[in-house]
Structure 1
């Protein structure tokens, strides 16, 4: 099978980019942040693009970009927080090794810069994040081979657990 060796999913601030970069380095692979791919294609950051296109068109674009990317990238891929919820994405992820980085609400709210990076969380970040976690957690779990808790843990500890989920290749 071609495609990423590892795909990380989870809410914004769960550590996908941090742990993804570390995993790629440890595995000797390239790291890609899917939000960067979206920005490269559209010339606008993903957060702004959602507002510009609307949720439905944005998710269609995410699915199309991901469908093109998966066969081309054999490294580590961190998906955008909402990408797994886009129609058709679960089927695209099915043949790949996907790990869900889970984080609790209090930990998310303490993650520095989260609200500035994701202005759509305003005016009430706690309420928005709680709703987001409740809605997306079952989707993240459904598309993943493993769920790794990240709250109150170092990136190195999370990385060790993520790497332990990797399929053994002969």
Structure 2
């Protein structure tokens, strides 16, 4: 279903920044729906993102991701959370142009506590701390460039982060 409505906000950031947890709470606070593009891809494909990486390769996953982000931004009027690598794609960057984008920033210590750096994160499977740091160093300039707002989630309660985002959005809808 394509509605032509824009998301209230699109959340971007690295693994462990809280995109799903904060996105769900933010959607509740704003009384809108929540859409996680990674979860949508897994539901559509009937397998985990990790399995898609292993069975079909990263290029296949990135193509699925690109299509899902474009569909979600076109059709979803609530809070949309993107996978950590989605904003690196040039076509996805174009889709995000003109959207309200919040970059959820986090340091490695908090990210490690949140995601545990397990096998469900295919790009972090080998030497997860070094891989996360490398990914973040590569991705940070893009996250910052695309962001309308940057919100640090490190060491903060979900409700505090949600309150800050609601304030940045002008107090809600």
The TM-score with structure 2 as length reference comes to 0.89
Q: Which residue of 2 is the match for residue 92 of structure 1?
A: 95
Provide the C-alpha distance between the structure 2 equivalents of 1:123 and 1:55, rounded to a whole number of angstroms.
Answer: 16
In the alignment, is residue 144 of structure 1 matched against residue 134 of structure 2? no
| Aligned alpha-carbon RMSD (Å) | 2.0
Provide the C-alpha distance between the structure 2 equivalents of 1:116 and 1:100, rounded to a whole number of angstroms.
Answer: 25
In the alignment, is residue 104 of structure 1 matched against residue 137 of structure 2? no
In the alignment, is residue 56 of structure 1 matched against residue 84 of structure 2? no
| Aligned partner of residue 7 in structure 1, secondary structure | strand
> 1:167 offset after TM fit, Å?
4.9
* 1:168–1:161 CA distance, 2 compared to 1 (3 A): closer
> Alpha-carbon deviations, 1:10-41, whole Å to 9, x = none?
11111111111111001110111111111122
5+ residue gaps, structure 2: none
5+ residue gaps, structure 1: none
| Aligned partner of residue 75 in structure 2, secondary structure | coil
* 1:160–1:168 CA distance, 2 compared to 1 (3 A): closer
> Any conservation in 2 of the 1:60–1:86 contact (CA below 8 Å)?
no
> Any conservation in 2 of the 1:22–1:159 contact (CA below 8 Å)?
yes
Provide the C-alpha distance between the structure 1 equivalents of 2:119 and 2:53, rounded to a whole number of angstroms.
Answer: 16
The TM-score with structure 1 as length reference comes to 0.90
The 5-angstrom pairing of residues 95-134 of structure 1 reads 95-111=98-114, 113-134=116-137
